[in-house]
Amino acid sequence: MPRAIVAFLLLHSLLFVGIVHAEQATVRSVTGGQVQGIVVSDSDYAGPDLEVYKGIPYAAPPVGDLRWRPPQAVTPWNGVLKTDNYGATCPQTRDLRKILDTMVEGQGMSWLRTKLTLWLIGLAPERPMSEDCLTINVWTQKGASEQELKPVMVWLHGGGHIAGSASDGLYEGDLLARKGVVLVTMNYRLGILGYMAHEGLSDEAEAEQRPRSSGNYGTLDQIAALQWVQDNITAFGGNPDKVTIFGESAGGHSVGQLMASPLARGLFHRAIAQSGLGSHNLLRLSDPVPARNPAEYSGQEIAKAAGVAAAEDPVQALRSVTVEQLLEISSQRQDLMDYLHPNVDGWVLPKSVAEIFAAGEQADVPLLIGSNADEGTLFSIFDMPPFHWRTEVPRTVAELDALLSEEFGANDARLLMAHYGVKQDENVASAVLNIWGDVYFGAQALFAARQMENVESPAYLYFFKQTPPSDKQILGATHSAEIPFVFGSGIPLFPANDSDEMLTDIMSTYWVNFAKAGLPIAKGQPAWPQFVADQPRWMEFKHGARVTPIERSMLYDIYLRRQQALLTDVKKSLGHGVQTASSESATQ
């Protein structure tokens, strides 16, 4: 997906200032050596002091010959490693200013406040980047020990698999840790370095007696980080048998991909997917799908752009290309960004997420999943088609009506045109964004909830509708807007009111209690019903919480019927499809 999520996160990280004591945290032993963080005792939220450890390595630096290979065992260090600062951000392009402007200007702030916010953004320094970026951050209550283990929540950041970082200020874990969990965030490889597939890399894996695969390195990093949690989290007072993975946007897609991957089995016990599951993604390693070449196409094109396609060994030649050159290629070849995502390779992903969920082959763990009412509004600067299986971008009422009629038939097209209020050409752009948001996020959440009836564990569905408090705001409940309500990480200068503070407490409590017991409960709030297909309801978050029928189920069903037909066509074209490789360790 596009990189707009990063804009929302970056604004907070640019302005956020944490207040900490100079007191050093407990020295704790982990794989590789000993680490020491800092004590955090001053916060907007009451509760116990925290010990925070930032920048703990969980794998060897993926540099040199380890570029485009599965993560390797962490390199041990001598003495006590000071883990009081975030590790480097994984390499990514940083052309985000237009997205930031969209987020800031959409809040409905005064002219002066808007300009001040934009000015502060322009003053902020960039975070350092490095391929040596595979680090983990941990928040735990001061004095935590193995004698009283707490549930663990592991956050997977968003950014379209091509951007983002665990160091973004919205992901500070103070509130969640004070509510009784051990909070973990991680970096994982992104973009070209994390998800580029290449036929030479696939051949190399096979020659080294690994399953023939390439391109899923960022997902393998996530799995390695979850294994690190299993091996080390007791040292921070965390319970390795009560691990909840949660993420938003590409992080939500990662949740779905980890639920689908046999390599991640047993590494987590509950899952929360915010605005994404990855069930729309049909990208395959070596086979084309509608509107997409094989994933390996990206590597071929990147090798051409780097001038090494004709080399005797293009893969080794690519490993010699500088990070700066690779990022420049990323900027110049935006058409390749749709290929830099997890792919069906027969190993990390034996089948697509949609196929695995439909067959009941996903991890049998409780799932909390949902979307926001106005997901698409943040993406107004992108010229995007409304459907991931098409490339056309309609500009007029006639073009949109023709596209919808072709995809869904005349009757459903009329329903959709009426729902999105498409009467004049100037309505079309906003309708396309709203369709895109419902297709990618709302419909996928409903799909996932339904498919959880194929396993024993329950699903819980939500719909986030809280908007910025200004009556001049134009974003609505946009993509990523729920994150501050989960983490309690309000963005400086952005407008907020008492309703926002109340909803933050409500949502964070539901999330934490789900991690504790697999049940989203909050004292004094409505009981959250399990999803039942013949009586579908969700928890609506707007000025509080309430259980309501699914108001867009008719729209979602239209999109899901088409998605199922598309998936059927793909399977037919592939015959038996990709065969499942052995579920060997992700770290080799």
* d(C-alpha 336, C-alpha 380), whole Å: 20
Residue type at 510? Y
Please identify which residue in the block is written with the tokens 């407990």: 26
What separation in angstroms does the CA of 62 have from each of 133, 201, 226? Answer: 8, 15, 17
* d(C-alpha 283, C-alpha 279), whole Å: 11
What separation in angstroms does the CA of 559 have from each of 65, 257, 437? Answer: 44, 21, 11
Classify 155 as helix, strand or coil. strand
Please identify which residue in the block is written with the tokens 């596009």: 2
* d(C-alpha 582, C-alpha 587), whole Å: 14
Catalytic site positions: 249, 375, 479
* d(C-alpha 318, C-alpha 538), whole Å: 48
Angle, vertex CA 151, rays to CA 84 and CA 13, nearest 5 = 40
Please identify which residue in the block is written with the tokens 């009586």: 535
CA 563 centroid distance within chain: 21
Please identify which residue in the block is written with the tokens 């000025």: 543
Angle, vertex CA 393, rays to CA 389 and CA 399, nearest 5 = 110
Angle, vertex CA 118, rays to CA 332 and CA 188, nearest 5 = 50
